[in-house]
Structures are given as structure tokens and as C-alpha cells.
Amino acid sequence: METFRTKIPNHFSLPKRINRLGELAYNLWWSWNPDIQRLYSLIDKELWERLEHNPILFLRHVERAELNAVTNNRYYVDQYDSMFREYDSYMNSENSWFDRNYAQMSDQLIAYFSMEFGLHESLPLYAGGLGVLSGDHTKEASDMGLPFVGVGLFYTEGYFTQRITADGWQEASYTRRKFDDLPVILVEDETGGPITVTVQLPGRDVYARIWEVRVGRVPVYLLDTDFEKNANADRSMTSRLYSSDLDLKISQEILLGIGGVRGLRAMGYDPRVWHMNEGHAAFLVLERIRELVTEGISFDEASEKVKLNNVFTTHTPVPAGNDEFAPWLIDKYFSYYWPELKLTREQFIDLAKHTVDWGEAFSMPVLALKLSNGRNAVSDLHGRVTRDMWNFIWPSRRVDNVPIIHITNGIHTGTWLARRLGHVYNSYLGSDWMEHVDDEGMWERVNNIPDEQLWEVRRHLKRKLVAYVRELARKRWLRGGSQPIEVVASGALLDPYALTIGFARRFAPYKRANLILRDQERLFEIINRPDMPVQIIFAGKSHPDHEGGKLLIQDVYRAVKNSESGGRLVFLEEYDMHLARYLTQGVDVWLNTPRRPNEASGTSGQKAALNGALNFSVLDGWWREGYNGKNGWAIGDEVDYTTSALQDEKDAKSLYDTLENDIIPLYYDLRSSDNLPGEWITMMKESIRTLAPQFSMRRMVKEYLLDLYLPAMPVERNQEPVQE
């Protein structure tokens, strides 16, 4: 029974006729419904862009006259009424997918813990793909009507803002956000005071408040320490995401895992399934055991019991990428805790012991793997790599019997689909196509879309991308302080008609952003043919403490600045969800060049595919499953190389050959009588038809439900679920 309240702050003064815009600003449902976003942007487009599509800031700053104007606009108020009818029916529906299939299980709450939630660019709670996946998962849980709550941390400064200096060096800066400016609502008890949780850190208690973010029907609860009750040093504990300071890191993970469980309890929640998205949240298993041990149950019995409802997803294919702590740090933070579990130090360390190159580590994934019953990796190949990596936990099992399954990642359709293409899908796939987005048969109807119509939308989306990037470049030039070459590097010379390739992701060395630059002479020759120009847009951040990633950005930037590139190579600063939408919707080809098998899944290429861009990637992660020979292109072969130098060389050659011999000629081949690249469009339809259903978040969440959540729910025998 929930015992708390959340009240939407009311700090807007809006005309009565449209005053529900204030309420909607506090439900991120608007963020995946582009027609709803227009209710804001139509009022004052320029202001909406300037304020990073943040409806709260927007409503606070918009001129009263602009608000009055739309209330007198017949078209606007009709739209407003129809959108709010849709919103109310979404929020109050008792006929969701979950209701129709699992109505009797609506009290089986799933609690989903993640260090990051990528919900929208205005909410700085994510760094990259892991966060975007959590955000997409949460939105789909809402769409499907799952009994679901998210748990995370609230970062007032987020990850960081990226600037690239004239010589290509990444500089990081931090902006502090105000709670008042964001769609977060303080969780209060019945008397109106904030509900707080306490965790013990060396020599002191630390307190956290809880904020609710409404994601459609699903609440996400975020803990934050930045308030008076804490000592100054602890108030900044939750300011930033992914610090390299070990004390800060373990403190954040204690707050997420242990504080998160306590927060849910304080609000009166009693989850039946506990899902840890990546190892950061693994301390939650300890807290759940401690709860039972305190009631007098033995450690062994308690751990067997909690294990049944724990689910763990791992995303990290390289041992070095895993979250692990040195024993001295565990002593420092947990010596008070293991007696509460009735364990000795040695028994406690043994729960998560992992022998690594520098000695014995306390490994978060080991802790989560040992104390969960449901475990998964995020693609087929990643599953194999993961079972091999953790085989030592189950020494008597052969590698293929290691109990870790795989569920390949997907993307949330509403969040990533371009508005205008969505309208085309509405016309040709049937108006309720989104309810069947994972149905492969339904997607056959893509073939009914006339080529001209699909091509016209694609051209529109590319023009929109190019116009947007050039406008950014112009603003930069106008602001002053930039050298001309920086304006060129940021896209001033982009051509709205040239074949456009996108490469945007975190700059981790295994992703090999510079693979396409290995033979620059050849590349410059290929992209500068007057009759078949090609342009490549790069974007992405490196972790601020990671020199290797920053050097990689510099390497790319050097090629971008080279006059021989003809301004056809571009690097865009500040890759975030906003830029990701523009790029995945606007480019023709999405490039991904990870060093196989290091890409656990990847999802950006799935966003591109949904929008009609073609993938050109290494057969790793999701693309190894998606590629069928007719829906895009592969780089290299599906083989394991002995050295990475050899792999890089082979992959680069394959990349240039395919680009030059297949991709460019296909795009510029207008032989058909209607002046359209007919074969390209055929490939595009094949790509949409095959990839959109298979890599939808709907397919993914159904698999999580069937393979991991339902088995973890303590169901009575007479409550067997009915399946659709």
C-alpha cells in the first residue's frame, strides 16, 4: 500500500482554455508523441528550440500574448482538445496490453534499478546507450501497462557539456540544473514533509530525498542528497554521473542499491520482481537479504529466497569494463554491514569475489549473477561472450550451459520515429500499427508505400538535418570567438543533396571512430567526386577522464579540418538524445565499426533503420542478427582475428571497397524512369520491414516479461498467466 503523495507544482499562469499544458509538462508522455510536442512548439517555435524543448521552462518564459493568440486559433484548440482526449484515454485505460493478457497479475510490481535513465535531452540523467535503453524500457513498460517503477539517482549536473577546441581537444564543463526547471515532483509523506531515506557511509549517515518523474503511467523515483540535512561534502554526492573517484562511485552505488530499496519501502511499495540493469545496482540484493536476516531468518535461507525474484542484465563484454572494487574499499564501506547479514568479512567478500589482473576484486556483476535467478546478456553474440566470461561462477557447467540467456536490445518506437514518417506509417500500416509494432506480418505493408512518397519524406528529413546543423554553425560564427575552420568543421558546407553517412556514439576506443580514416587519401578521393559527393557527420563524447577517447576525437577532428576533406567531414559537439534524433532520422547510411565482439548490442542503428536509413556495420551486437544480405551492408567477415591490428586492416579494406563499389553507385543510380534510386528504396523497404519489428522495444519488453519477470513472480498455482 503506497503511503506518500506527490503534488504537481503549479507555477504557471496560463489561460484557462489551455491550462492543462502545465499538467502535461510534468508527464514525459509528451516526449514520445511528436504531435503533442507541437502543442508547445506551435506557440513559439524559436523559444521552444532555445529552451532545449523543456516545457516547464517554456511555459514559464513564453509571452502571455503568444498564449492568448493560440487560444483564439481554432486549429490549435481543436488539436489541443483531441490531444488531451488521447492523453486521458492513455492514462486511464484499463485495457492495456498487460490488462488484456495478465490482468490477474497487476499487483506484481516490477522494480527496475538503473544508474542512468535517458528519457529526454532536457533531463540530464544519462551518458549514453545504457541510459537510453533504460529510458526506452520504461516508456514501453508504460505503453504496455506493466506494473512497473524505475529507481535511479538524480544528477543536478548530469554527465557533462562537450566543447571541442580548435585543435580538437574535448573540454568538459558542467551546468547545474534547478529542480524547479525540471519535470520532477518531490515525494512527500502524509504531513507534507519530504520522505527521506538514510544510508550509512564511513563515520556518518547520509540522507536522500526522493523525486518522482512521471513517464506516462510509470513513475521513476530518483534519489538526491543535495539538501540541508546533509553535510556540504555529501550534498554533491549525486551531482554528476560516472565519476572516476572510487569513494564517490561506491557511495553512489550504495545509495542506488541500498537507498533505493529503502526508498521504495518508505513509500509503501512491495515489489515482486527486482531488476538490476547493469551491475551498478547490485547492492540491492544485500539490502533485501538484510531485511530478512533482521527478521530472524538465516543468511542462507534469506539469500535463497531473495534470489528467486532478482533479475540481472549485464551489458559489458570486456572484463575490464566491469564495475569492481578493491577489498580495502569494501572494508571501509561495509565493515558495519556484514555483521547485520550475520556474515564474517571473508564470507562477505566471497559473495562477489573475482580474481583480476591486480588481485582479488569485489565484483558487482559477480554479486548480481550469484544472487539472481534471471540473468541475461543483450544480444546473441554477447550472450556467448558473457557465458564464457562468467563460466568460473559455475565451474561444473560447460560454457553453453552457463545460466545466462540473451535478450537483444530494442528501441522505443514513439521516441525515435520522425513525426512525418510516422504519418506515412499511419496511412499505410493502419492507424493502430504501433500497437502491433513487433508483428512482422504487419510490417509487410511497408511495401504498399509508394516509392515517391517514402523518398520525399527521406529527402525532407535530410534537408531538415542539414538546415539544423548549418544553423548551429552560423550561430557559432555569430557568437564570435571561433576560427573559420571551426565553422567549416561544424558543418557549414554540408550539402542537402549529397549521400550522407552518420557516425555518432561514445568515443570508446573499441568503437574505432577512426577506422574510416585509416587511408585518408583514398577516403578524400571517394567523397569528393563531383558527380557522387559523400559527406560524413561524426559526433560523440569521450569520458572526461579517458585520454584514449579524447585522442580519438582529436584524430577525427584533424581529418575534419583537413582542407582536402572539402568540408564533407563534420564533427558535431554535444551528442545527446536531441542530436541523436536528428542524425538517425536524417542521414542515408548509419555507420558502426566496433571491434568485434565488443559491441554488446548497440541501438543507434536500430533507430536509423526505423527511419529508413540503411545500416553499414560490423557483424557484431544487434546487426549480426539483423543483417540478412538485402537490408544493408556488412563490414568485414564473421571471424575472430588473432590480433586487433589485423582485424582493423581487414575491416578498413572491406569498408572502403563496399562504400566505393556498392553503396555510392546504388545511391546515385537514377536509371529508373521516375528519377528515383529504385534499388536503394527497395533496400530501404526491406530494412524497415525486417528490422523495425525485430528490434522494437515492444518485442524486447515482451521477452523480458516472459523469460525473466514472470518466472520471478511468486505466483499461486491457480493463477497461471494466459498468453496472447
User: Which residues neighbour 617 within 8 Å (Cβ) at sequence distance 6 or greater?
Assistant: 590, 591, 592, 593, 602, 605, 623, 627, 632, 633, 634, 635
Q: How far is the CB of 599 from ligand PLP (least distance, A)?
A: 7
- Closer Cβ to ligand PLP, 652 or 697, answer by number: 697
Q: Interface with ligand PLP by CB under 6 A: which range of 257-265, 275-283, 486-494, 597-605?
A: 597-605
Range 185-204, binding ligand PLP (CB under 6 A): none
Q: How far is the CB of 502 from ligand PLP (least distance, A)?
A: 11
User: For residue 258, which of 291, 287, 282, 292 has the smallest C-alpha distance?
Assistant: 287
Residue type at position 23: E
Q: How far is the CB of 352 from ligand PLP (least distance, A)?
A: 27
Under the criterion CB under 6 A, does residue 313 sit at the interface with ligand PLP?
A: no
Under the criterion CB under 6 A, does residue 408 sit at the interface with ligand PLP?
A: no
Residue type at position 245: D
Task: Give the strand pairing for 310-313 and 110-114.
Answer: unpaired
- Closer Cβ to ligand PLP, 261 or 508, answer by number: 508
Q: Interface with ligand PLP by CB under 6 A: which range of 330-338, 370-378, 576-584, 657-665?
A: 576-584
Q: How far is the CB of 580 from ligand PLP (least distance, A)?
A: 3
Under the criterion CB under 6 A, does residue 381 sit at the interface with ligand PLP?
A: no
- Closer Cβ to ligand PLP, 515 or 577, answer by number: 577
- Closer Cβ to ligand PLP, 128 or 410, answer by number: 128
- Closer Cβ to ligand PLP, 59 or 378, answer by number: 378
Q: Residue 216: what are its φ and ψ, rounded to 5°?
A: 60, -120
- Closer Cβ to ligand PLP, 535 or 604, answer by number: 604
Range 127-166, binding ligand PLP (CB under 6 A): 128-129, 132
Q: How far is the CB of 505 from ligand PLP (least distance, A)?
A: 3
- Closer Cβ to ligand PLP, 505 or 512, answer by number: 505
Q: H or E stretch including 614?
A: strand 614-618
Q: How far is the CB of 604 from ligand PLP (least distance, A)?
A: 3
Q: How far is the CB of 349 from ligand PLP (least distance, A)?
A: 33
Q: How far is the CB of 130 from ligand PLP (least distance, A)?
A: 8
- Cα separations (Å) of 95 from 92, 489, 723? 9, 51, 15
Number of Cβ within 10 Å of residue 86's Cβ equals: 14
**Buried/exposed code over 137-150 (b: 16+ C-beta within 10 A; e: otherwise):** bbbbbbbbbbbbbb
Under the criterion CB under 6 A, does residue 602 sit at the interface with ligand PLP?
A: yes
Q: How far is the CB of 118 from ligand PLP (least distance, A)?
A: 7
Q: How far is the CB of 532 from ligand PLP (least distance, A)?
A: 27
Return the residue of 140, 212, 278, 576 that touches ligand PLP, per CB under 6 A. Answer: 576
Question: Contact 435/413 with Cβ under 8 angstroms?
Answer: no
Question: Contact 409/622 with Cβ under 8 angstroms?
Answer: yes
Under the criterion CB under 6 A, does residue 577 sit at the interface with ligand PLP?
A: yes
DSSP conformation letters of 444-505: GGGGGS-HHHHHHHHHHHHHHHHHHHHHHHHHHHHHS---HHHHIIIIIT--TTSEEEEEES
User: Which residues neighbour 618 within 8 Å (Cβ) at sequence distance 6 or greater?
Assistant: 592, 593, 594, 595, 596, 599, 634, 635, 636, 651
- Closer Cβ to ligand PLP, 237 or 504, answer by number: 504
Q: Residue 283: what are its φ and ψ, rounded to 5°?
A: -60, -15
User: Which residues neighbour 65 within 8 Å (Cβ) at sequence distance 6 or greater?
Assistant: none
Under the criterion CB under 6 A, does residue 409 sit at the interface with ligand PLP?
A: no
Return the residue of 239, 603, 615, 631 that touches ligand PLP, per CB under 6 A. Answer: 603
- Closer Cβ to ligand PLP, 62 or 461, answer by number: 461
- Closer Cβ to ligand PLP, 412 or 550, answer by number: 412
SS3 514: coil
User: Binding string to ligand PLP for residues 530 to 569, with x set by CB under 6 A, is what?
Assistant: ----------------------------------------
Return the residue of 535, 604, 631, 696 that touches ligand PLP, per CB under 6 A. Answer: 604
- Closer Cβ to ligand PLP, 424 or 618, answer by number: 618
User: For residue 418, which of 574, 575, 580, 576 has the smallest C-alpha distance?
Assistant: 580
The residue with cell 572516476 is: 244
Q: How far is the CB of 135 from ligand PLP (least distance, A)?
A: 9
Q: 261 is written with which cell numbers?
A: 530499496
Q: How far is the CB of 694 from ligand PLP (least distance, A)?
A: 15
Q: How far is the CB of 31 from ligand PLP (least distance, A)?
A: 13
Question: In whole angstroms, what is the distance from residue 507 CA to residue 271 CA?
Answer: 37
User: Which residues neighbour 176 within 8 Å (Cβ) at sequence distance 6 or greater?
Assistant: 156, 157, 239
Question: Contact 144/698 with Cβ under 8 angstroms?
Answer: yes
SS3 198: strand
Question: In whole angstroms, what is the distance from residue 572 CA to residue 560 CA?
Answer: 11
Question: Contact 264/210 with Cβ under 8 angstroms?
Answer: no
Question: Contact 205/21 with Cβ under 8 angstroms?
Answer: no
Q: How far is the CB of 110 from ligand PLP (least distance, A)?
A: 23
- Cα separations (Å) of 375 from 130, 252, 299, 323? 17, 23, 22, 17
Q: Interface with ligand PLP by CB under 6 A: which range of 288-296, 473-481, 598-606, 628-636?
A: 598-606
- Closer Cβ to ligand PLP, 269 or 633, answer by number: 633
Range 164-183, binding ligand PLP (CB under 6 A): none
Q: Interface with ligand PLP by CB under 6 A: which range of 17-25, 124-132, 223-231, 350-358?
A: 124-132
- Closer Cβ to ligand PLP, 33 or 162, answer by number: 162
Q: How far is the CB of 693 from ligand PLP (least distance, A)?
A: 18
User: Binding string to ligand PLP for residues 489 to 528, with x set by CB under 6 A, is what?
Assistant: ----------------x-----------------------
- Closer Cβ to ligand PLP, 371 or 421, answer by number: 421
Q: How far is the CB of 322 from ligand PLP (least distance, A)?
A: 17
Q: How far is the CB of 576 from ligand PLP (least distance, A)?
A: 5
Q: Count residues contacting ligand PLP (CB under 6 A)?
A: 12
SS3 277: strand
Return the residue of 580, 609, 655, 697 that touches ligand PLP, per CB under 6 A. Answer: 580
User: For residue 329, which of 357, 360, 356 has the smallest C-alpha distance?
Assistant: 360
3-state secondary structure 409-452: CCECHHHHCCHHHHHHHHHHHCCCHHHHCCCCCHHHHHHHCCHH
Q: Interface with ligand PLP by CB under 6 A: which range of 202-210, 268-276, 600-608, 712-720?
A: 600-608
- Closer Cβ to ligand PLP, 123 or 577, answer by number: 577
Question: In whole angstroms, what is the distance from residue 122 CA to residue 28 CA?
Answer: 11
- Cα separations (Å) of 144 from 118, 216, 435, 543, 699? 19, 11, 9, 35, 11
Question: In whole angstroms, what is the distance from residue 26 CA to residue 35 CA?
Answer: 17
Contacts with ligand PLP, residue ranges (CB under 6 A): 128-129, 132, 505, 575-577, 580, 602-604, 607
